[in-house]
Structure 1
Amino acid sequence: MATAKETGQNARMRELVDLIAEHNYNYYTLDKPTIGDKQWDELYDELVQLEKETGLILPESPTQRVGGDILKGFEPHRHLARLWSLDKAQDNEDLLAWNARVAKTIADYNAKNPDVTPLPDPSYVIELKFDGLTLNLTYDGGNLVQASTRGNGAVGEGILAQVKTIRSIPLTIPFTDGLIEVQGEGIMNLSVLEAYNVSAAEPLKNARNAAAGALRNQNPRITAERKLNAFFYNIGYAEGVSFENHEQLLQFLRDNRFKVNPFAVYCSTIEEVQAELELVAAGRSEHDFLIDGAVVKLTDMRTREALGYTDKFPRWAVAFKFEAEETTTILESVSWEVGRTGKITPVARVEAVDLAGVTVQNCTLNNMGDIERKNLKFALGTHVFIRRSNDVIPEILGKVDEEPGGEIVTPTECPSCGTALELRGAHLFCNNKLGCKPQTIGRITHFSSRDAMDIESFSIMTAEQLFDECEVRDPADLYALKYEQLIDLDRFGDRKAKKLLEALDKSKDRDLAAFLFALGIPNTGKATTKMLADHYGSLSAIREATVEELVGLPDVGGIVAESIYSYFRDPVAADSIDRMLALGVKAEAEQQAPVRTDSIFSGKTVVLTGTLSSMTRDEAAKKLEAVGAKISGSVSKKTDFVIAGESAGSKLTKARDLGVTVIEDEVELQRLLGE
């Protein structure tokens, strides 16, 4: 008979398992953590200690998610219901052909069955097509008892130990009335892949292979290290459960604590479907996970049943495939480019290949450390994986195989000015700040940009001409320019010379935040420089700030603090600033009106995207800051609101993915601003 102590320990273990499961659900599934990491660790450690003391481990204990012993192999698992493939539409023509077949089948059914309620006109739901590994989970009496791969659709491989390591997957669910099979996709978030590769001895080449490889690895501890995620979208088999439409099915999944991607767009016509698919394709690279298309399904369950299946796939759904964002090509050569900070970046030239609708010939390699970690040191002339995302220069992920190739030689001198290079961490730097042309051109162009000193009509061509013909080597040199120097320059003349001098004079009134951003302080951006201006209120105070003071500011870590401190103690930077002040640059903090604290936006992070009809984005940002909002340039889990105007694009897509509150009505925005 159990002692009172044992009974109490067992009850506490049950309580801890339930508590941790609830916190895991809030954190991993809802993305809304309810406790901090320290408190979670305390609960987990207490449970581990109780399990050691009692020798008892509950089947659904979170301690079993870390992975167990290495398995000898995977056992076959026969699915209760078949996992179907999907018919594919490569373009709008294929999509319309599928829709025509659907419409004909519905019409034929209604004509042949006049005595039953007619099937409704088709309505559709669009979901993302995740690029990972299909999962089929079996629950019995509310407990996870099996997990398997898709296999051939009828029989898969049992991977229960591996799937248990995915913290967003519930080990128990509220539905306890019998057997149920739930289908979804195991994925590796791109941010997790990036973080993993920072310290990995052998970087993973892409998120899809990383997820599939982890789930089919016979060592569950390796699976756990990959920190996988999962989304669920279908119920293949359920005892005593039925649904009238797809929306009810998704709600059932949510109610049973499965992670359902918030992107599910319902459309009444195929024209609406086509328009939405264009938006999905345009915003695909903004997701923190890979997608290779979208899935279009009929929403009505009775219609699905009437349409049925072919030998391979359901007639009521189709996968709309996007053009590949990953492919292979040949690495032809590597050149080295100089940035405005003096950083030397390798740029790869590859054999031209079509990727996501764009012909790619150049790829980034980040730095020499990146080249070595990706095993590319001897890769010239070999096949490599490349990926294009976020509409930026594509990146090389790694070699396709281990075939030897030519060596990528690390430079010892600056490719522009010949100065000996310095290695700082994984990066090479040219320290010739004033004499290295690409550095100077980059600094001056950045200094003059719209978000910085906003010097009208100033371009990289202007910077190059002033460097070559007026010996401009520093932003301060711009304010020393005279009409007599400019009038005789090629492509200048009276009008352009006066216009540039007027723009330079006007830029002297730019506020402190803009001036700090224009300086190009390493490891800082607009948000950091604005925070510095708001906090210190004057340039002199910022120049005197210590590392200890800076580290105490919001979102300023040790590296950023050291960068700011070091910049203002660099004699070259200090001389440049002093010269600009002497030449009339004011760099004064903008006078801040008292911030309201009674607004819905107070203390919230807000992202602006698209074109607003009643105000510019800068005007909207100032109004939001006046009511206590923090303006951010990117959408993340920390974003509270997204203000979306016309042509909002990928940021709006990402906001919907993350479940962020979106305001698209400008009248509503003005009301919330108190106008």
Structure 2
Amino acid sequence: MDVKEAKKQLKELRKQIEYHNKKYYTEDAPEIDDYEYDMMYRRLQQLEEQYPELVTPDSPTQKVGAEVLNKFQPVVHTVPMESLHDSFSEQELIDFDRRVRSAVENPIYIVEPKFDGLSVSLEYRDGLFVRGSTRGDGTVGEDVTDNLRTIRTVPKQLTRALPFLEVRGEVYMSHESFFRLSERQELNDEKPFKNPRNAAAGSLRQKDSKVTASRTLDIFVFNVQQVTGKELHNHDDALNFLKELGFAVPPFFTACSTVDEVVAEVNRIGELRGSLDYSIDGAVIKVNSFAQREVLGSTSKFPKWAEAFKYPPEEKETRLLSIEINVGRTGVLTPTGVFEPITLAGTTVSRATLHNEDFIREKDIRIGDTVILRKAGEIIPEVVSVVSHMQDSVPYEMPEVCPSCGVKVAREEGEAATRCTNPECPAQLLRHMIHFSSRDAMDIDGLGPAVIEQLIKQGLLTSPADLYTLRFDQIASLERKGEKSSQNLIDAIQKTKDNDLYRLVYAFGIPHIGLKAAKLLSSYFQNMDAIFHASAEEIAAIDGFGQIMADSVVQFFTLDNTAHLIGRLRDAGVNMLCKTVVDDNRFYGKTFVLTGTLPTMTRTQAGAIIEKMGGKVSGSVSKKTDYVLAGEDAGSKLTKAQQLGVTVISEEEFNNMIQD
């Protein structure tokens, strides 16, 4: 390869790696697996070693992590939070040992698991936790102190009041917590995180610490960055001292005096992966002596006294025996492959998701195929490729009707998912009921997910309409339901009969129809019968509606199950008329965008006032926007408004506008 071609390849590799760095570190939404990224990064390193004159200061090999988001205060790391050099073979570990021994004598290595989470710094003064930050780019991180305080394994006060201590650790999410979170996200029709690492990173970097607290994060602390009031000479002593102070340290670590012992321990940790309730993507080998670390020093990016061994994804062949269709709580039909059992990453695997129809067609997966399976992030089995088709096999076709209720399924344009459209489908009942009773929908106080699950299990709830036939004694028979709370729930359900029409429309959970669209639909047609008989053309004519939204509404209201549900709700006395009357048109034809935290009212309250006065609330700023109502911490919407010259108002100015 000549220099010209090398330069071309380097440019393309850097571009791809920077893109995937942003997806992984900044957005917590990776598009490729770790091994694919590692091999791409390794190729970049090899080319730069071969052509050192082409190395640039902004190359990914010269930087750590990724950019810091502006939604958090920046924290400058006094001690840089360095990355680690990666090895992928036994020979590379031998090379590391040779480099170390060329500089220091008789090194002792500590081998510990490499946790797959988000690296953070914790700072303590006089034994009290005062600040926590992410690694960021290694030099500047993000202040996430409030979020770190919600993690139970982050000590708020140490057992010993050292003048100052800074430690480094890894925030992670256990597999159990990850699966619980995925279930909740599915119920809320949210896109689930791809793996526990991204779930941990995304949860820690929330603006609202209450969200972080709900995600059940944990931490392992494995390094002392700075300390005053205590002398430490070796890494294993530091780990034991950290444990005495109240930190959760790596649950196992081993001292090794030879590279053969290091390799054996790395292999042992690799075999343990399948039995752990947290994700590890490798092992870390560190020189134990701090004095020897000083001698070895660091490169511009890596410490020379440590090495990370990354486990390659284990892949094995097996045969696809059948494909089962599972109907999720959001109505999505997910094909699951059933395979001849194999052992991957220490666990027996016989099932793996096949995602959707596009995934099956792209890989041409057929029943009877010999396929290659692997575990993504050492937790979720996936099909990598098809090795061969069985003789006389045929392409797989998704079912045309829902296996749970028998209603015809649909796949909307631009979506990969095939969905059941039945509002009373048993497989979707829990999710439907949670949405139906939620605050923006029918707003049934006291009807949380736990109560709904009990009602469903006892056969008391098979449709939203069943809520209005529930008796006091049925609710009182539920676990943890006393007489007062049972009567309160009955009263809350009865109260919703008088709700405005838009709440009921939104409660149906029609695809593509959010709260704002439900309000527009109700206000335009004024009653349920008019909406029920409206054509797609009529609905699409509403300002704020598009053809996809209109088609979705018509498709929903043409289902026999929808007519049945509306009939039962009507018989129960649920209101079917629009109550919202615009008696003040001062904002007619005006579009508002709300952003940031307002001093005395919520954005929902402000939006309701705007709509009651004939105005429209939009979620995005454009040239057609008339006003941007901005509060504290207003972000990109405020910036865009200023760029476009849109009028920006405060809550005080807004209050002046709505005064009589």
| TM-score, normalization by structure 2 | 0.45
| TM-score, normalization by structure 1 | 0.44
